[in-house]
Amino acid sequence: MYKLFFRLFFSRMDPERAHHLAFRWIRLAARVPVLRTFLAAALAPRHKELRTEALGLRMHGPFGLAAGFDKNAVAIDGMAMLGFDHVEIGTVTGEPQPGNPKKRLFRLVADRALINRMGFNNDGSAAVAERLHARVPVFRTVVGVNIGKTKVVPEAEAAADYVKSTERLARHADYLVVNVSSPNTPGLRNLQATESLRPLLTAVREAADRTVTGRRVPLLVKIAPDLADEDVDAVADLAVELGLDGIIATNTTIAREGLKSPASLTGETGGLSGAPLKERSLEVLRRLYARVGDRITLVGVGGIENAEDAWQRILAGATLVQGYSAFIYEGPFYARAVHKGLAARLNASPYATLAEAVGADTRKAAA
């Protein structure tokens, strides 16, 4: 039903306009008590065997919404209503910014992919912090906060900008993510180099600890799929050295190989997400797990279209998995289908729990 609706309605609309329209419907539904209860029962059935502990947090399952969909923390309960076990908001920057000029979001339907050059359009960390502070949760869900650099802030002053956001947002975050891997903010990916990343992550860790004294806010870093293998290893080693809680692999890619869509679309600048990212994202995840093992939590994202994709990420080393682009194509039953398929695969596997399955294939390959 949704796929027909998408083909007849959403696919004919500007992608960003369609996003805002769907987003509005989700938010409105979550505000109506009877409707949200009905939708949650239909779209977010719980599978006890999928219960997950990660980052010191308990979750209904391992499958969450990746950053980029709810940039301003306005639909957390709506996304939980649709079945996502955790919701990562953002990317949030130190100061509000409109993002890049429109048109800046493109559907590559033939590739089941998106290209975006949104440019971290968001209300800024002060406004988002105020919104999170005022929020009265309807559904229990883990909320991650993804932070990035304000575009006008020079690269040399990036750490101070991230610290500003950390001081405002850490107390409202179940976990915090440092995003240094979007291709849409000039110079941002330069911060992935370990000589830049070490002081940045150290400053954010210190700010989080200084701001939130009653608990430790888990800190993760999100990396690009376009890193060379040796750079992936360097980030993995740095994460262990600094005592980071996790790595999210991966963000969007600037690569365009093997696409089926017209050149008028594939030639657009920005980050490519969705199915074409699947193979490289999985490779990076395997490499990370081979390097860090169980010492830190890995989050797999990029091209997760269905339960099989999520299961392969778990076997490769991901404790948590996230989706975004496939949600645009699969619709409101996306999370339900992933959960149902994951439960079936776990029950048919030799593993008693999801935790036992994490990294199983990568360990076998190394043996």
331 labelled ligand-binding: no
118 labelled ligand-binding: yes
Cβ partners under 8 Å of residue 343, min gap 6: 47, 49, 50
Return the amino acid letter for 237.
Answer: D
184 labelled ligand-binding: yes
141 labelled ligand-binding: no
Do the Cβ atoms of 230 and 202 come closer than 8 Å?
A: no
Q: What is the DSSP letter of 359?
A: T
Selection from 126, 133, 143, 156 nearest residue 75 by Cα: 143
CA distance 219 to 348: 34
324 labelled ligand-binding: yes
Clarify whether 11 is annotated catalytic. no
125 labelled ligand-binding: no
325 labelled ligand-binding: yes
144 labelled ligand-binding: no
333 labelled ligand-binding: no
70 labelled ligand-binding: yes
252 labelled ligand-binding: yes
- Helices within the chain (DSSP H only): 2-8, 15-30, 33-43, 76-81, 125-134, 158-169, 194-211, 229-242, 263-266, 278-292, 307-316, 325-330, 334-348, 354-357, 360-366
222 labelled ligand-binding: yes
Selection from 259, 225, 242 nearest residue 114 by Cα: 259
Catalytic residue, chosen from 182, 261, 273, 281, is 182
Max CA separation in the chain (angstroms): 53
Annotated binding residues for substrate, written as ranges, equal 71, 116-120, 179, 184, 251-252
Annotated binding residues for FMN, written as ranges, equal 67-71, 91, 146, 179, 222, 250, 274, 303, 324-325
Instruction: Write out the catalytic residue numbers.
Output: 182
Annotated binding residues, written as ranges, equal 67-71, 91, 116-120, 146, 179, 184, 222, 250-252, 274, 303, 324-325
